[in-house]
A and B are shown apart, each in its own frame.
Chain A
């Protein structure tokens, strides 16, 4: 069955460092992958989308890579700030009506 795995343990890093979050998938051949940010008690917010023919995508301090051979996406936040503390979800195209299949998310805590 299709499976999406994200780091289950929270990631704690110091302000100014680069945070790297991992999303691995199995039994999937996604045409694209999306990353969302979710703050406690709120709905996810779209951050970036990367397509299968793209190796890397950047948006301000964010960078996403997509390796379809390794079946993995890496999400980087450079020069991290305490305001970046949140849960980050990766999502792949699902089988139904272009709904998304989400990973469980990785919690990021950036300390001053």
Chain B
């Protein structure tokens, strides 16, 4: 089955630790995105990548880092510099980076909790 997978589903982090969230897609999509969702809030864009080895900051990139070494993978690292990392993290992909109308496909999400 084609789709997007995220792991782990739940993640607990101690303060001061860096953690990496995995996102893999086998849809052969060009563009990938990371969003953060807080209770009662809309999704906010953290980082996006339109092509391998290239990525751009979104609206709330501080305290996060990403890499895009392979087309199918776009991991997100939540660093200790992120002051309030507890949230639901969603990865998404889109077929063509230059087609605005393409729908986005979302993974199942990772819920990160800072202890």
Contacts and interface: CB of A to CB of B under 8 A. Distances in A.
* A and B found bound together: yes
Interface in B49-91: 50, 56, 58-59, 88, 90
Interface string A17-44: 0000000000000011010000001111
A102 B90 CA distance: 13
Contact of B42 (A41, A93, A96, A102): A102
A44 B90 contact: yes
Contact of B101 (A32, A44, A101, A102): A32
A76 interface: no
Given A43-B90, A49-B101, A97 B56 contact: yes
Given A41-B109, A43-B109, A105-B42, A99 B101 contact: no
Interface string B88-115: 1010101001111111111111010000
Contact of A46 (B41, B43, B59, B104): B104
A79 interface: no
A46 B40 contact: no
Given A41-B111, A42-B109, A43-B107, A99 B41 contact: no
Interface in B4-41: 4, 31, 33, 35, 40-41
B108 A43 contact: yes
B97 A97 contact: yes
A104 interface: yes
Contact of A98 (B41, B97, B111): B97
Interface of B: 4, 31, 33, 35, 40-43, 45, 48, 50, 56, 58-59, 88, 90, 92, 94, 97-109, 111
Interface of A: 4, 31-32, 34, 41-46, 49, 51, 89, 93-94, 96-105
